[in-house]
Amino acid sequence: MDGLSGAYAACCGLLAVGGAMKAAQPTPARQALGSLGVRLPLPAVRAVGVGEVAVATVTLFVGGPAWALVALCYAGFVAVAVALWRRDEVASCGCFGEVDSRPSGLHVGVTAAGLGLSVVAAAQGASGPVAEALDDAGEGPLVLALAAIATYLVVVALAQLPGLAAAMRDLRRSAR
């Protein structure tokens, strides 16, 4: 397996998780986009989420040109994350459905990393990480398992750390 296969798989995993959560609970993403002046009906936001899941799934199995679509998704996320972070007026970016995930520098960094990884994968014409794992019975399953754990940890970090940081700031202010 390629040395970046696990990172590529986690990149797709994060896209799939966010898409699934947007499809299931589109209201927060709709509200976040609305705060930027982008008005979409709930079915359109749901369709975007389903599209993200589809792009991630195809890329996980096929790779190749599909990586350009993953890069396109992450490019959009970077733009939205930066805009929401600068405004600092929304409680959630809508990335993960009903989970309050305030836009933060961490969001910007993670989405920029996803963009960078997917651009590299597209430039290399990388295979799909699952297809590679199926060809490598030794390391493949372990790499995919670690990518799934990494995806989970990134989702938890994006969903919980901004709120924790805000709570810590409030605690410090009240202690003065």
pLDDT at 163: 75
Q: Hey, where are the domains in the chain?
A: 5-175
Block means of pLDDT (10 residues each) for the chain, 176 residues, are: 86 95 91 85 95 97 95 87 71 70 80 94 93 86 93 89 81 87
Q: Which two tokens stand for residue 73?
A: 């998704």
pLDDT at 1: 64
pLDDT at 47: 96
**Amino acid at the residue 95:** C
87 vs 85: CA distance, rounded Å? 5
Q: Any idea how long the chain is?
A: 176
CB 154, CB 96: distance < 8 Å? no
pLDDT at 91: 63
Q: Which two tokens stand for residue 173?
A: 């202010």
